[in-house]
Structure 1
Amino acid sequence: MDILPLYFLVIFIILLFLSFQEYSGGYINPGILYTICFFQIILIGLRNEAGPDYGSYRGIFDYSYLNDYSKIFLSNIPFSNTPKLGIEWIYVLMNRVVLDLGLPFYVVTLLVAIISLILFYTFLIKNSDYPTLLLLIGFIPGMLISTGGQMRQSVAGGIMFYSFIFIKERKLLKYFICVFLAAGFHTSAWATLPLYWLVRIPLNKFLIFGLVLVSMILSPFKIYEQLGAFLNTIAGGTAISDGVNGYMDEQYARINGGFGIPEILMVLYTCFIIYFNDKLEERSPYYEYYRNVTIIGICAFFILRENPILSSRLVGVFMGFVMLLMANSMSVVSKIERRFIFSGLIFIVFFNFIIFSIFNAKKANYSIDTYKNFVLPN
């Protein structure tokens, strides 16, 4: 087991302490959370050679000069004859602008951290009864893998989380603009567009059970391949079709080939929703919205599970709402149930922390002896 850098451990301990204070009824000033956000931006945004995809993104930056501005903008026009960039256009544009200004690559990583983390923090502070707990859950490994690794998806995810405010306010145009911008960083954001309508579909526990069960049964049949063919037929040459089919063309085998930790978690999430559904429908504001998004994510995971790329990156934004749903539920359940939920979430925090420290910290250069930062001493 590798030890994480002291900077990360200090933030982890502070968030853990504040989470217990929050659980006990104490008020956490949002200014404190935004201060933590600032330090996380420094740690992630100004990291040096750290993160699972750091080298790949550095390559995109170094060769962004090959794409002139007209090509970048025209590549976003559907059915045009403009050569495809291979990477989402807004992300390429950001790299090209930074490169043309003569600025180093860490400016790109800093911009990614600023955009994604501020949007993520703002959304949770405004929409969660327990924002500190959720920030703790999303810190390790979530922030290190997404904002500090899969940067395009991180920015898209931050935009999509924040855009959920417009779903709740029923402002379609603003929501569509957010989806469009998010898709400029990661094509998978287009999959969230139907959420504007799907969140209002009524579901009961029996229908939820049936939907998840059918999705599990469909899992081995790879029906998502038919979706790829369908998209290629009706929208071939567009970013949506190219993006989805691009992931399908990549061949990745499941690590354990069977029923593992992700599947267990999906089943547990489903059981939680089924057990508390009726109570939360009556008492928890916007529970139905978060529930529907989560169920869509769970069903999509099982249907896509034979393709680890699709089942993680396409489903990631949907599953981000399950923790929000579970944390908010603590405000309306009984005292014993509240203690049980909080204990379960804290267990997830430490489980993720230990697993990341054992298997991924050193690989991603997030261990105490490998992490480097451009402004902080090693």
Structure 2
Amino acid sequence: MEYICLYFLVIIIGIIYLNKNNINIIRLIFLILILFSGCRYYIGVDYPMYMKIFFFIKNNINDYEVLRLEKGYYFLVKFIVSINGTQQLTFLVIAFFTNYLIYKNIKKESSDILMSTLIYFLVGAYYSAGFNLIRQVMAISIFFYSIIFIKQKKIIKYFLFVIVGSLFHKSCIVLLPLYWILNLKYNRFIKIILISITVNFNFLLPKAYEILGYGQYTILEYEATTSFITLSLFFILALLIEIFSNRIFLDNVSKNINFFTILLVLSIFLNKKNFPTMNQVFIRMSSYFTFYYIILIPQLLGYLTKKYSKVIKFLFFICISILYFKTFLLQLPTYKYNFILFEF
């Protein structure tokens, strides 16, 4: 019931924004999303693990989970413990910074702020991902915001943001070379070569693992922690953006983000049967790219609705609404809340 109420509350506020065109209304939506995420209680696969980590850090127990923890999250918890805060306060702080950075980038880059906000809220790979992948979504939001520095060619700011992101999830550090990779220009011939390399690489990957002595990983039964329905939607949208990239006036960095998303999603599809164990790596890394579709999709929809019909935008809204209910009603447990932020 709470998920349904959240849906209609956000949609009603969105309709008010259409009439008033006041950015404070979008801020209200994000405030609601912060509170709903930050005050959730035992929702999310990793929730019990984070409760355990908080207990260990609070009591100075050097458990394996604590020792392998990224320092950014570790010191955040240490600070919250020092002010008598609870793990619930940690969730709320993470929810605030994650949603704040996403809001700031939407405001800065989106051609349709409301549509970007609705995409972020309704598509399961975005807002609800923060219920589970807490540290990585924090890192993703930092990288998402830092993309503007690649476009502005501010290398020091970009590097600083990515390094800070890696303090919450180690995978973020491998994104440092993107400053150069995304600023390059790739013509059609080079893109065909890169697609060919990607396909052959993924077909040869299981054999490479066997040669290196890790052949056992290629036969493990593994279910990827992603929705292939959502992934298929991303792939179709990415192909459309590639086709219409010049007509929707994408800058070079945005074009490259879209193209490399195509390569990553293609790798995931190829490995679904070929080498499913490897998909966890590809899915984790593709998340950094797919978040940028919060910005790219409204640009595509703007072109398609102007060129063909406004019905396209409405049908897209219906599709992502279905994804919302599929994620929140069918995959998440009954919503419970906890407002205990400090121990007295």
Q: Residues 334 and 155 (structure 1 numbering): CA distance in 2 closer, same or farther, change over 3 Å?
A: closer
Q: How far off is 1:218 after superposition?
A: 3.4
The reply to whether residue 175 of structure 1 matches residue 172 of structure 2 is no
Aligned to 1:197: 180
Aligned to 1:36: 29
The reply to whether residue 272 of structure 1 matches residue 240 of structure 2 is yes
Deviates more, 1:148-157 or 1:332-341: 332-341
Aligned to 2:263: 299
Q: Alpha carbon RMSD of aligned pairs, Å? A: 3.4
Contact 2:40 2:338 in 1 (8 A): yes
Aligned to 2:7: 9
Q: Residues 371 and 65 (structure 1 numbering): CA distance in 2 closer, same or farther, change over 3 Å?
A: closer
Following the alignment from structure 1 to structure 2, what is the Cα–Cα distance between the partners of residues 299 and 190? 20
The reply to whether residue 374 of structure 1 matches residue 344 of structure 2 is no
Contact 2:38 2:88 in 1 (8 A): yes
Q: What secondary structure does 2:11 align onto? A: helix
Following the alignment from structure 2 to structure 1, what is the Cα–Cα distance between the partners of residues 327 and 313? 21
Following the alignment from structure 1 to structure 2, what is the Cα–Cα distance between the partners of residues 37 and 335? 28
Taking structure 1 as the reference length, the TM-score comes to 0.74
Aligned to 2:107: 125
Q: Residues 65 and 166 (structure 1 numbering): CA distance in 2 closer, same or farther, change over 3 Å?
A: same
Following the alignment from structure 1 to structure 2, what is the Cα–Cα distance between the partners of residues 303 and 318? 14
The reply to whether residue 253 of structure 1 matches residue 217 of structure 2 is no
Contact 1:326 1:341 in 2 (8 A): no
Q: How far off is 1:86 after superposition?
A: 0.9
Following the alignment from structure 2 to structure 1, what is the Cα–Cα distance between the partners of residues 208 and 112? 39
The CA deviation string for residues 173-210 of structure 1, in whole angstroms up to 9 with x for no partner, is: 11100000000001111132122112222234565455
Aligned partner of 2:52 among 50, 54, 59: 59
Aligned to 1:349: 320
For 2:104, the aligned partner's letter is: T
Q: Residues 253 and 221 (structure 1 numbering): CA distance in 2 closer, same or farther, change over 3 Å?
A: farther
For 1:171, the aligned partner's letter is: K
The CA deviation string for residues 99-132 of structure 1, in whole angstroms up to 9 with x for no partner, is: 2332111110011011110110011011101121
Following the alignment from structure 1 to structure 2, what is the Cα–Cα distance between the partners of residues 224 and 37? 47
> What is the aligned residue count?
324
For 1:327, the aligned partner's letter is: P
Contact 1:15 1:135 in 2 (8 A): no
Residues 1-378 of structure 1: matches in 2 within 5 Å? Answer: 3-14=1-12, 17=15, 21=18, 28-65=21-58, 85-140=67-122, 141-205=124-188, 207-208=190-191, 211-212=194-195, 214-222=197-205, 253-254=222-223, 260-261=228-229, 264-280=232-248, 283-284=249-250, 286=251, 288-303=252-267, 305=271, 306=276, 307-332=278-303, 335-337=306-308, 339=310, 342-343=313-314, 345-362=316-333, 367=334, 370-374=335-339
Following the alignment from structure 1 to structure 2, what is the Cα–Cα distance between the partners of residues 346 and 277? 22
Q: What secondary structure does 2:247 align onto? A: helix
Q: How far off is 1:7 after superposition?
A: 4.4
Contact 2:3 2:328 in 1 (8 A): no
Deviates more, 1:109-118 or 1:329-338: 329-338
Contact 2:126 2:291 in 1 (8 A): no
Q: Which runs of 5+ in 2 are unaligned?
A: none
Q: Residues 88 and 264 (structure 1 numbering): CA distance in 2 closer, same or farther, change over 3 Å?
A: same
For 1:372, the aligned partner's letter is: Y
Following the alignment from structure 2 to structure 1, what is the Cα–Cα distance between the partners of residues 266 and 25? 39
Taking structure 2 as the reference length, the TM-score comes to 0.81
Percent identity for Structure 1 against Structure 2:
21
